[in-house]
Amino acid sequence: MHAAASSASPKVSVIVRTFNEAKHIGRLLHDIFAQQISVPIEVIVVDSGSTDATLEIVSRYPTHVIQVSAEQFTFGLSLNRGIRAAKGEICVIVSAHCYPTDMDWLERLIAPFSRNPKIALVYGRQCGYVNTRYSEHQIFAKWFPEVSNDDCGLAFCNNANSAVRREVWTEVSFDESLPGLEDIAWGKAVMAKGYHIAYCAEACVHHIHEETAQQIYRRYYREAMAYKAIFRDHQFSFFSFLKFFVMNSVGDYYHALLDGKLLGNLIDIPLFRFLQFWATYRAHAYREPMSKEMKRRLYYPRRPQFLKESANQEGALHRPTFIDISRPISEGVAVWPGDSHVSITQAKTIPEHGVQVSNLSLCVHTATHMDAPAHFVSGGGLVHEVAIEQMIGDAYVIEYPGKGPIEPSFFQSLNLPSTVTRLLLKTTNSHHHPTDRAFDPAFVAISPASARWLAERHIKLVGIDGPSIQAYDDPDNTTHEILLHAGIVILEGLNLKEAAAGRYHLIALPLHILNVEGAPVRAVLTKEISH
């Protein structure tokens, strides 16, 4: 059974905490509602003053939104508000910049509650993403091992990926005064009442931190301030800072050497560890009560400046650069042999009618376009039935310099992260000018074996810069059929000449045409640049 907002009484409430998460929230909500789970769920979004498109994206999903003002916000308060509004017996808590690694995440996370009525909280495994700093990968590996435990015996837990028994929360709510680590404080309190903390390694999420040095420092400063409040006898001296900075940096260098990643992390490893432990030391040296101004700086460091700036200034803080990867549609543009040519006629002109109106006739598989499953699968989904989220999100441009067809050995040699779900193939096809009008049957495509490899990897979308994903002389359309049977959306006719290999955000919007198997697409890639 797929997860869905249900009219039946929900057994599980999923609480998502957001603040300016437009980059991630759509994918997380899509993955939540795609979960395989046997009980009704509801989704509650607790937003603490987002100023980007977060709430507009959330509005596309059947969720209940709770607003918390910046002046009121603490992590504990946002969780209490969400759980108070929840109807489920189990409340799952997940940060908006976490993605489940599979479709059974939710079912696995709540499973321990049925085994032991004394379990108050289950926290799941967390791992890094392709852009996670190496030192943080090491932290995740240490904090979140591969072995589950229904009674950890420790107050340690992490509610970025967790579930709590609501009945226990009615006895002990989250501490709203702490600047962080409210999960550990809660675990300590419920364990004192005889409850257990469980860890489920099989319920895993990718926890994505895309932080500047200043943001890393603030995160660990917040957590150290909270740790000092929870464990009042704990001390962290300047000697502690030096000891842990050196020990962890050396340890990271050792593991990076074994992993073959040392050269790329020579500077980043000591920088990350310095920020982590210097922030911890400075927080322990802070003796004054935490003022409202201090809390505002820790939670909302850019908010006042943001509100004072004009829209143009705001954009300069996080300005995306766009690469148009679409080929233009014009009369005479190359089409697949046998398809209709593009025809553009003037129905009205300004000299004669006072207005210009054009008529367009073309095959839906012209220039840059998408193939929906119905293109080769009887009864398959049509363009208007493909979820728009499949066409928008993280995508990887990979470059293939040889001749086709592209075989699985090429994909295997890339050692792609397991989280990659959208691939765009840049080949020698991109050497052609976007307005080339001669059809070249020798274009580079992928083999049927590669199509099977992509399907087994659960890829959501694959794009290529040639007129088709399959070779011109493919006699039985096997490549298309494998991909489309697997529900993989295909983009064809891309222009990736200006896109270097790497990770991007893809926006590929097909024309909203009903009851067709393909449609022209305007596709762009973005890479955000922080100033």
Distance CA 361, CA 103 (A): 42
Handedness of CA 63, 68, 69, 74 (dihedral sign): negative
Residue 226 to residues 95, 221, 272, 341, 479: CA-CA distances in angstroms? 19, 9, 20, 67, 55
User: What is the b/e burial string over 362-388, where b = at least 16 CB atoms within 10 angstroms of the residue's CB?
Assistant: bbbbbbbbbbbbbbbbeebbbbeebee
Is residue 375 part of the annotated active site? The answer reads yes
Distance CA 27, CA 17 (A): 14
> What does the radius of gyration of the chain's CA atoms come to, in whole angstroms?
26
* End-to-end Cα, the chain, rounded Å: 45
* Phi and psi angles of residue 27, each rounded to the nearest 5 degrees, phi first: -65, -40
Which candidate in 196, 375, 433, 485 is catalytic? 375
Is residue 490 within 8 A of residue 518, CB to CB? The reply is: no
Query: Which DSSP helix (H) or strand (E) runs through 370?
Result: strand 369-371
Residue with tokens 């020798």: 442
Residue 507 to residues 238, 314, 391, 491, 511: CA-CA distances in angstroms? 48, 22, 6, 12, 13
* Amino acid at the residue 276: Q
Of 298, 230, 239, 269, residue with least CA distance to 139: 269
The C-alpha angle with vertex 386 and arms to 490 and 380, in degrees rounded to 5, equals 80
Distance CA 527, CA 382 (A): 30
Residue 140 to residues 143, 169, 220: CA-CA distances in angstroms? 5, 27, 15
Contact residues for 485 (Cβ-Cβ < 8 A; gap 6+): 373, 377, 380, 455
Distance CA 384, CA 518 (A): 9
Distance CA 87, CA 11 (A): 7
Active site residues: 375
